[in-house]
Amino acid sequence: MLSAFAHAFRVTDLRKKLLFTLAIMAIYRFGSFVPAPGVDYGNVQQCVAGSQNSFLGMINLFSGGGLLQLSVFALGIMPYITASIIIQLMRVVIPRFEDLHKEGQAGQAKLTQYTRYLTIFLGVLQSTVMVTTAANGLLFQGCPVNPIPNAGPASLLLTILTMTAGTGLIMWLGELISEKGIGNGMSLLIFTSIAASFPIGLGTVFGLENGIVKLLVILAVILIITLAVVFVEQCQRRIPVQYAKRMVGRRLYGGSSTYIPMKINLAGVIPVIFASSIMQLPVMISEFNKTAPWAVTLAQYFSPSHPLRLTVYTLLIIFFAFFYTSITFNPEEVADNMKRYGGFIPGIRAGRPTAEYLNYVMTRITAPGALYLAIVALVPEILFAMMGLNQAMPWGGTSIMIMVGVALQTVKDIDSQLQQRHYEGFLS
């Protein structure tokens, strides 16, 4: 492993890619601490220290802590994630988007452009809501000072434009990493945001009563989840595919054997993100009127350890796992491509029977994948609630799963780069 790291930095172009990626990640972290124009940093720190607003936890985590700092990068990567998910879902609703997806590189470039436009629109919308709620005292309820002291129309407009521009800059930085660096740029920025909160969270736990015991339990949970994520993400169902021999001119093509790798968790962490976003809505609504009886009841039923919330959360994760898998993997399209190039699954007729078989296999392997997502997301959350660490821990099983998945994919990318240059890789 250490020799593989040495080889990675010894190769000139690979070293440049690694250093370029680290530099972009450093710029992203720096922007999370730069306050937006019109924001009083001292007042923000005072408000954050006394804030009890919990529904912003997930968004603040993905922004690297920049959201509650009202920084230039306050919105983080969330507008782009939301826009990407919406564009993928629109393929089911709008046939034009599905046609663009099938057009290859040109169509993908058009969908990417739509994603950028939607990201900027969501950035304007979210920054407007956040700045106005901060200026009106709703973002930090009970704070004696105003985080935006001179909240005039011109000042608020400048703050909104700056945060929106920060969103566009983050999107550009992520695309730069994907183009000139190593790994997926957006995923690495999410990884950076989550990893930045770990030392602070662990330090907070260490300062509590019986902090050493709780810290050891948390580290054990992180280790177990890491092993589970690595094991499940590497698992796949390999469906054998045989290509028939065919004559093209004077040459004989085909006759080879391959397989279709179907991962147990085809949907990744998207179902958990979807479910978490929906589960935050009732808590967000109750935050705006904490004294009303209905708000108190709503907050009670959707508290972290309440059975109703855990049940609904589990059902949403399972539902979105099946729903998102059905969008990302199209059995009919795969079967048509196999038939076009003379491929078939042994024992299964080409065409519709192949599509039905692939759909059957997909459903069978998605069921344990959905349960795996629910267990990884819920077990740490329940454990932290039992230990009284809801406020101290800004992350849970979802965050660990994202970090491990991104790190694993990045290591695979570096490994493939090393093997192309005849070096022994990380995973060899």
Task: Please state the domain extents for the chain.
Answer: 1-197, 209-391
CA atoms in the 13 A half-sphere facing the CB of 404: 22
Domain 209-391, CATH homologous superfamily name and number: SecY subunit domain (1.10.3370.10)
Residue 143 has pLDDT above 70, yes or no: yes
Question: What residue type is assigned to position 68 of the chain?
Answer: L
DSSP state letters, 248-302: ETTEEE---EEEEEEES-TTTTHHHHHHHHHHHHHHHHHHTTTTSHHHHHHHHHT
281-325 pLDDT per residue, tens: 777 677 666 677 777 787 777 776 778 888 888 898 899 889 888
How sure is the predictor about 36, in pLDDT bands with cuts at 50, 70 and 90?
A: confident
**Are 1-197 and 209-391 in the same CATH fold?**
yes
Q: For the chain, what's the residue count?
A: 428
Quick: pLDDT tens for 1-20.
456 566 677 778 888 888 99
Q: Residue 218 — pLDDT band, cuts 50, 70, 90?
A: confident
Give the pLDDT mean for 259-263.
85
Name the band, by pLDDT with cuts 50, 70 and 90, for residue 161: very high
Residue 260 phi/psi, 5-degree rounding, is -100, 115
| Number of separate helices (H) and strands (E) present in the chain | 16, 5
pLDDT of residue 194: 81
Mean pLDDT of the 204-226 span? 80
**Residue 122 CA: distances (Å) to CA of 162, 163, 356, 396:** 14, 11, 39, 26
The DSSP annotation for 161-175 comes to: HHHHHHHHHHHHHHH
Confidence of residue 78 (pLDDT cuts 50, 70, 90): confident
Gyration radius (Cα) of the chain, Å: 24
- Architecture category of domain 1-197 in CATH: Orthogonal Bundle (1.10)
- Token pair, residue 97, equals 């988007």
Residues 406 and 187: beta-carbon distance below 8 Å: yes
